[in-house]
Amino acid sequence: MKWVSQDMDMFLGAKEYVDTAVLPLFPVSFGNDIKQSVAMTEFIQLLTIPLERQFKGRMIMLPGHSYLKNKSKEKLLEEVIVWEKELFDNGFKHVFFVTSDSMWKSIEGELKGGLIWLPSIPLAAMDEGARNNILEDQVKQLLQLFMQKWQEDV
Amino acid sequence: MSKHRVSRRQFLNYTLTGVGGFMAAGMLMPMVRFAVDPVLKASASGDFIPTPQKISEITEEPTRVDFSFEQKDAWYTSEVTNTAWVYKDENGEIVALSPVCKHLGCVVDWNTDKANQNRFYCPCHGGLYEKDGTNVPGTPPIAKLDVYPTQEKDGFLLLGKAKPREEA
Ligand code: FES
């Protein structure tokens, strides 16, 4: 389910079936890495669309959490911990963060929710055919990952 | 002193006009959209959409067919890719099933659950469907998978809009 009114009616009517919340993490920077931060955000945004479609009835895809890259790791971690606490407190059994920013990899251990890190691929430089193939491939892997994690926790 | 008071009033005036303007724009925009939207919508329905699937290559095994078209979602258009599970039944008729689970809308897969061969399986809450799309009792879905009306053109499969089935 997406964070839109129509899907919310469905969510409120079937809460017990929606046990997973996904929060995309989007880095924003105006420094030297501006383009890189855009590519990361873009890539994850693209991937979350088919992900949500595939697992519509079980997960809620939150509007992403954007953060400034020049903030300290500790601060960023603190914010995300507030997010996951809120989500767990609201009854979600699985909380996932999806991101391209490798910074999160280094503090993965501090998170209670699962971190799904996918290196961003320079899609802008490719023609459409190649781009679709790569995306499809990435989506497949992503779906597998979710199914695996669900199974582990049964 | 009095100069001060005037400028404060002016300030208030400006702000209120500003806010009022904003509110008016906020009210107007959706109204324009409501007025225009139905006109935009009408053109997008009822058509058959071409798929890359050759009719002659359809077998008895359900195969995934992806097809893309432009969709108007509320008030913006986007390119959407849809999927159908396509096969020939025992009478040689082409069947095209929607992959959208009738429980809460996840996408079902053919033959992926080891314990349930030759069935459609929904990874979200374990929904199951027989090959013809009939929901397996005891699993969450309460209806059969939707079916796409099919057509043929130049040897290729065309699909219409998926429809729920009437309960027998
Ligand atoms: S959405 Fe398919 S079983 Fe619940």
**Higher-confidence position of B25 and A96:** A96
Query: What pLDDT was estimated at residue B34?
Result: 53
Query: What pLDDT was estimated at residue B41?
Result: 45
Closest CA to A61 of A2, A144, A145, A149: A2
Kindly report the nearest CA distance between residue A18 and chain B, in angstroms: 9
* B101: nearest CB among A14, A18, A57: A57
Query: What pLDDT was estimated at residue A154?
Result: 63
Judged by CB atoms closer than 8 Å, whether chains meet at B107 and A53 is answered as: yes
B76 touches chain A (CB under 8 A): no
* B105: nearest CB among A57, A147, A150: A57
B49-159: CATH topology is: Rieske Iron-sulfur Protein (2.102.10)
Query: What pLDDT was estimated at residue B42?
Result: 40
**Higher-confidence position of B1 and A102:** A102
pTM for the predicted model, two decimal places: 0.79
Distance (angstroms) between ligand 1 centre and the Cα of B100 equals 9
Over residues A34-53, mean pLDDT: 93
Judged by CB atoms closer than 8 Å, whether chains meet at B123 and A56 is answered as: no
Helix axis angle for A34-54 and A128-152, nearest 10°, is: 60
Query: What is the mean pLDDT of each successive set of 10 residues along chain B, which is 168 residues long?
Result: 61 64 58 50 64 94 91 73 93 95 96 90 95 95 95 94 80
Query: What pLDDT was estimated at residue B45?
Result: 44
Over residues A31-47, mean pLDDT: 93
Which sign, positive or negative, has the C-alpha torsion B47, B49, B54, B59? negative
B140 touches chain A (CB under 8 A): yes
CA B96 to chain centre: 16
Sequence-distant (6+) residues with CB within 8 A of A130 are none
Which sign, positive or negative, has the C-alpha torsion B103, B109, B113, B117? positive
Rounded Cα distance between B71 and B123, Å, is: 26
| C-alpha distances out from residue B25 to A7, A35, B22, B29, B84, Å | 27, 34, 5, 6, 43
**Residue of the nearest CA to atom 1 in ligand 1?**
B104
B101 touches chain A (CB under 8 A): yes
What number is the ipTM of this complex?
A: 0.88
Which sign, positive or negative, has the C-alpha torsion A69, A71, A73, A76? negative
Sequence-distant (6+) residues with CB within 8 A of B100 are B106, B107, B108, B145, B146, B162
B142 touches chain A (CB under 8 A): no
Which sign, positive or negative, has the C-alpha torsion A128, A133, A137, A143? positive
Contact B122, B141 (CB under 8 A): yes
Chain A positions touching B109 (Cβ under 8 A) are none
